[in-house]
Amino acid sequence: MFGDLDPGVAVVAALLTGVVLLVVLRRRGPRRPPCAAGWIPWVGAGLRFGKAPLEFIEQARAQYGPIFTIFAMGNRMTFVTEEEGIDVFLKSKEVNFELAVQYPVYRTASVPKNIFLTLHEKLHMTMKGKMGTFNMYQFMGRLNEEFHEQLEDLGPHGTMDLISLVRCLLYPVTVNVLFKKGLIVSHKRKIEDFYWHFQIYDEGFEYGSQMPEWLLRNWSKSKRWLLALFEESIPDIKAYKPERDDCATLMQAVLDVVEGEADRHSVSYALLMLWASLSNAVPITFWTLVFILSHGDIHKTIVEGISSVLGGAGREKITVSEDKLKKLLLIKWCILEAIRLRAPGVITRKVVKPVKILNYTVPSGDLLMLSPFWLHRNPKYFPDPESFRPERWKEANLEKHVFLDGYMAFGGGKFQCPGRWFALLEIQICIILILYKYDCSLLDPLPKQSHLHVVGVPQPEGRCRIEYKHRHDVCQAPRGPGPSGGATPPATHLAPGLQEG
């Protein structure tokens, strides 16, 4: 065809012909969703997406409609925002959760793909059984004891950053209950190191799931420190023999599954479980307390309810039982409403076979994405979506563990978060005991959320300090949020932020 042409011209002509054929074939092929691709090869829209991903997702939805693709850093991410797409995301056999997350799991915890795919469903079933609603009674006593112990360390009064206070409570309580008391953090220096390294690991988790470790030196160092900690601790965890089999810690149950298939990866699974149990529980507790303390009427009603159910003084070591939780439903409503407003940015599946959604075909290889953050702002499901309205949860059948329609905070489909009932219980007990023991008030306004990440519950942007004082020393009603300013919070041993070098 090009035999009589100059060789250079022939090459150019052949390339142009190939491009034309590619365009024609694409037009004749299945219709793909509209795509925000950018103009830089491979990078695509990555620069704009990375600056403010949640805002970029909403802008793309407004521009392209209910289904659209964002091409960034070599990945095609197709977002669905309405019922048909959500139904495919949750129920289709052509999309897969495990294949979507196995690469991030390898990067963040060094679990090889074949090991992850072999063990994931078995481990999910183990954790789902261990932390099912029918087993929550096993955690009640331990959680009460641990929170009382940690609250004693706060002293009778103080001022500190609220997110730091929550970490000081939830880090040791969660580790002691789910792993084994005192085994992971046994003395002050190690506790401080643990707080420091886990905070760096947690804050850099999303970057670590996508980028080479040599670009994230501090994060990589903290990851190795945590893996070494578990390398040292796991033999003792395995050796611990509870009196009753059903009293084994969750970590022991996980190790029983892992050691049968891939014993040398036990430390990696311990790190994954640590991250899963703390990464969202801490910010959810923070946001719930901030919303409660920022709404004086809700705060007052909750404190009055706690006094009615548990007694007026904050000095006694009371036990928060299942019956008492049922009488303090407003607190659970506040937690669920806080999660609604501060939901994860995205959850994902891998498209394994082309799937049709609306009038488009999503090709295999795409990551199918759903944004709980924006779904929870759909007025069809949640009227007045930007307002903190815990009373909307009256309509949910929480006795049967059914949430409101459109609520996707814990994922959906086959692999919902197996620890969701434990997390809700832990946060309820934590908040009840804080407000039972202390009169609390905010010294700073309600902070904005950080828009830098799309994985997990967002962290606050900027500080938010709390002043607390034993309730038996206080003769006044709960106060609302105070003006910005106030006493300087004490220095903490928590990492001030992620600084990669």
Domains of the chain plus CATH, in order, are: 7-100 (no CATH), 112-344+376-473 (1.10.630.10)
Q: Residue 310 pairs with which residues in a beta bridge?
A: none
279/203 Cα distance (integer angstroms):
9
108-162 pLDDT, tens digit per residue, is 999 999 999 999 999 999 999 999 999 999 999 999 999 999 999 999 999 999 9
158-175 pLDDT, tens digit per residue, is 999 999 999 999 999 999
The reported pLDDT for the residue numbered 73 is: 81
Q: Return per-residue pLDDT of the chain as tens, 501 residues.
A: 545 556 555 555 555 555 444 444 444 468 999 998 877 776 778 788 888 899 999 999 999 999 999 998 888 999 999 888 999 999 999 999 999 999 999 999 999 999 999 999 999 999 999 999 999 999 999 999 999 999 999 999 999 999 999 999 999 999 999 998 876 665 667 788 999 999 999 999 999 998 899 999 999 999 999 999 999 989 888 877 655 555 788 999 999 999 877 788 999 999 999 999 999 999 999 999 999 999 999 999 999 999 999 987 766 789 999 999 999 999 999 999 999 999 999 999 999 999 999 999 999 999 999 999 999 999 999 999 999 999 999 999 999 999 999 999 999 888 899 999 999 999 999 999 999 999 999 999 999 998 888 999 999 999 999 999 998 755 444 444 443 333 333 333 333 333 333
DSSP state of 471: G
- Give residue for tokens 């900027």: 462
How far is Cα of residue 31 from the mean position of the Cα atoms in its chain?
Answer: 34
397 a known binding residue?
no
Q: What is the DSSP string of 241-309?
A: --SSGGG--HHHHHHHHHHHHHGGGHHHHHHHHHHHHHTTHHHHHHHHHHHHHH-HHHHHHHHHHHHHH
Rounded to whole angstroms, what are the CA distances from 218 to 204, 207, 214, 328, 498?
9, 12, 9, 43, 8
pTM of the model: 0.87
Task: Please classify residue 194 by burial: count the beta carbons closer than 10 Å to its beta carbon, then call 0-12 exposed, 13-18 middle and 19+ buried.
Answer: buried
135 a known binding residue?
no
